[in-house]
Amino acid sequence: MINMQSLNLNDTIAAIATPCGEGGIGIVRISGKDALLVADKVFSAKSNKKPSTFKSHMVHYGWIMEAKSEKRKAQNEKIIDEVLLTVMRAPRTYTKEDIVEINCHGGMVALKSVLDLVLSCGARLAAPGEFTKRAFLNGRIDLAQAESVLDIIHAKSQEALRVSLRQLKGGLSERINKIRQGLLESLALLEANIEFPDEEIGNIDKDALLGKLNDALDKLNSLIQTSFYGKMMRDGIHVVICGKPNAGKSSLLNAILKEERSIVTPIAGTTRDTVEEFISLKGVPVCLVDTAGLKDASGLIEKEAMSRSRKKIKHADVVLVVFDSSTKLNKDDKKILRQANSDITVAVLNKIDLKKRIEEDVIRRSLPRIVEVSAKKERNIQALEEAIVGLACKRQGSCQDGFFVSNTRHIQALKEAHKLVASAVSSMDNNLLPVELVAQELKDALSGLDEVLGKDSNKDILDKIFSQFCIGK
Ligand code: GDP
């Protein structure tokens, strides 16, 4: 169980909540029971009122001053920064505690000076993630929601961001609570059987019980299925561009990136090593890899480059095999065609701005997914992007009404719960285990789900999760 004392909810914490470096504004955030008292000590409002008398959720203009005498203010002495200060009173705040946010206009030095002053007036420097941890400990959000705050900060794509926001609103918690409810009802039925073993409740309720458990299994399973999609959205997909030298791989990469980053040259075989670029294609984070041209290697360096290209292709989620459509297939093309895995490959017929000479029907026999483009003239690149994302989504499963699970800890807990419930169902089906042991499996499954929501998390788990946050969040 959580040791509340060691989690220090009684003091007042403060931190710079905006990233390091130069910026238009920076925010110092204070949370805790003394937040308003600290603000009274450091803030001098233009209206001369004290922050502790301000209405909640209102912004006030003034100065952060080391000593707040009128005379000094007039002399412009000891003014650390000109700021906007917002008071947000508990419980309608991020942490459910009193919060003061100071919008500083100076640079990093002013921001640090404001923080130092706040710390010298009774606040303590917050640990990473401590504001969010307080929101969790004060019961405003559950652990899955707290983790979604982290995912929001780290989101690599619009789609990942959208789902993290949805999770913050309780999307996952709601689904897990429904599963928990089903398991709790099943457990109640089982325990009635334990308490009144002489009455053949097992016979009466077995169907109802199995129905409930199978329903929980279905729900768990469909959440687990979304995790493949979730992983794709979280970590992105690897798209590897390959093909014989001079087919137009680098040009294609550039056309997709819409900027000239890798070297494009008419001399065959200049992309010796692989070039990697991260982009977002239709909301999916994508790592695009341009490989060395695939052909029979002669020199040692070429052989090494070739072997690296093959490794990249082996680990790819989607492979783009680029052909020069203005020439007939040569032996390098034919070898690539023989080796390509049609499940993950899109054949790209490049240079359609030139006269077409390639044997498209031969390609189609091995690789049915074909997109014609001109990398040089940036023609049909959109269609290719759609084909890439379409293929990746098809392979990675789908989301559930726009929702997916992407957090590794959650996925593991769901899989473990699924395993336990499946085992309980099979034990009951085959009258294998005593009822007590089946009940225990359901209890274990339930506590696994509780871990996701943080209902029974120990301090180590919490520390591990919140230490991944940045300071000030
Ligand atoms: P790579 O060796 O496969 O990476 O090929 P490059 O991207 O370096 O391109 C080889 C040559 O083909 C260069 O001269 C490019 O300008 C040319 N090229 C690439 N794409 C096209 C295209 O769509 N149309 C035409 N006409 N030329 C292209």
One-character DSSP codes across 339-396: H--TTTEEEEEE-TTSPP-S-HHHHHHH---EEE-BTTTTBSHHHHHHHHHHHHHHHT
Cα separation, 352 vs 363, in Å, equals: 15
Mean pLDDT estimate for the chain: 82
Tell which residue, 341, 399, 449, 408, has the closest CA to residue 151.
408
Residue 202, Ramachandran bin (φ over 0: left; ψ between -120 and 50: alpha; else beta): alpha
Q: Could you tell which of 291, 333, 376 is best to mutate to test the pocket of ligand 1, judged by most ligand atoms within 8 Å of the CB?
A: 376
Ligand 1: centre distance to CA 209 (Å): 65
374 Cα nearest atom in ligand 1 = 23
pLDDT band at 105 (very low <50, low <70, confident <90, very high): confident
Bigger pLDDT: 175 vs 22: 175
Ranking 4-18, 169-183, 221-235 by mean pLDDT, the lowest is 4-18
74-78, 160-164, 438-442, 450-454: which is most confident: 438-442
Instruction: Give the residue-averaged pLDDT of 266-271.
Output: 44
For residue 114 the two structure tokens come to 């404001």
Residue 42 has a CB neighbour count (10 Å cut-off) of: 27
The one-character DSSP state at 75 is T
Does the structure show a pLDDT above 50 at 5? no
Contact 249, 262 (CB under 8 A): no
Q: Do the bridges between strand 99-104 and strand 26-31 make them parallel or antiparallel, or are there none, so unpaired?
A: antiparallel
Bigger pLDDT: 110 vs 350: 350
* Closest residue by CA, ligand 1 atom 18: 248
Contact 274, 321 (CB under 8 A): no
Which residues is 292 bridged to in the sheet? none
127-131, 212-216, 260-264: which is most confident: 212-216
Please report the pLDDT score of residue 4 as a whole number: 42
pLDDT band at 380 (very low <50, low <70, confident <90, very high): very high
Please report the pLDDT score of residue 303 as a whole number: 66
Ligand 1: centre distance to CA 351 (Å): 7
Please report the pLDDT score of residue 201 as a whole number: 44
**Three-point CA angle 60, 101, 125, nearest 5°:** 145
Cα separation, 141 vs 174, in Å, equals: 12
Please report the pLDDT score of residue 251 as a whole number: 92
Please report the pLDDT score of residue 196 as a whole number: 59
Ligand 1: centre distance to CA 311 (Å): 24
pLDDT band at 2 (very low <50, low <70, confident <90, very high): very low
Ligand 1: centre distance to CA 247 (Å): 6
pLDDT band at 264 (very low <50, low <70, confident <90, very high): very low
Please report the pLDDT score of residue 6 as a whole number: 37
For residue 112 the two structure tokens come to 């640090």
Please report the pLDDT score of residue 263 as a whole number: 39
Tell which residue, 94, 10, 75, 80, has the closest CA to residue 41.
80
Number of residues in the chain: 473
Half-sphere exposure of 383 (CA within 13 A, CB side): 15
266 Cα nearest atom in ligand 1 = 14
Show contacts of 62-70: CB within 8 Å, 24+ apart: 64/102, 64/104, 64/114, 64/117, 66/117, 68/44
Instruction: With H, G, I as helix, E, B as strand and everything else as coil, classify residue 280.
Output: strand
pLDDT band at 22 (very low <50, low <70, confident <90, very high): low
253 Cα nearest atom in ligand 1 = 7
Tell me the three-class secondary structure of 21-44, residue by residue: CCCCCEEEEEECCCHHHHHHHHEE
Our measurement of the distance from residue 321's CA atom to the centroid of its chain's CA atoms, rounded to an integer in Å, reads: 30
Dihedral (CA of 411, 417, 420, 425) sign: negative
Q: What is the pLDDT of residues 44-67, one digit of tens each?
A: 999 999 999 999 999 999 999 986
pLDDT band at 261 (very low <50, low <70, confident <90, very high): very low
* Closest residue by CA, ligand 1 atom 22: 351
pLDDT band at 156 (very low <50, low <70, confident <90, very high): low
Ranking 185-194, 314-323, 395-404, 423-432 by mean pLDDT, the lowest is 395-404
pLDDT band at 373 (very low <50, low <70, confident <90, very high): very high
Ligand 1: centre distance to CA 355 (Å): 14
350 Cα nearest atom in ligand 1 = 23
Please report the pLDDT score of residue 460 as a whole number: 67
Q: Could you tell which of 251, 267, 327 is best to mutate to test the pocket of ligand 1, judged by most ligand atoms within 8 Å of the CB?
A: 251
Ligand 1: centre distance to CA 281 (Å): 22
Ranking 75-79, 90-94, 310-314, 449-453 by mean pLDDT, the lowest is 75-79
* Closest residue by CA, ligand 1 atom 6: 248
Ligand 1: centre distance to CA 350 (Å): 8
Ligand 1 binding site (Cβ under 6 Å of any ligand atom): 243, 245-251, 264-266, 271, 293, 350-351, 353-354, 374-376
Q: Could you tell which of 242, 264, 290 is best to mutate to test the pocket of ligand 1, judged by most ligand atoms within 8 Å of the CB?
A: 264
Ligand 1: centre distance to CA 211 (Å): 61
Please report the pLDDT score of residue 38 as a whole number: 96
Cα separation, 376 vs 289, in Å, equals: 18
108-112, 116-120, 184-188: which is most confident: 116-120
Identity of the amino acid at 60 = H
Please report the pLDDT score of residue 295 as a whole number: 57
Ligand 1: centre distance to CA 322 (Å): 10
**Three-point CA angle 13, 129, 278, nearest 5°:** 140
Ligand 1: centre distance to CA 376 (Å): 7
- To the nearest 10 degrees (0 to 180), the angle between helices 171-195 and 435-453 is 160
Enumerate helices (H) and strands (E) in the chain, giving the number of each: 16, 13
The one-character DSSP state at 126 is P
Bigger pLDDT: 454 vs 318: 318
Bigger pLDDT: 464 vs 288: 288
* Closest residue by CA, ligand 1 atom 8: 264
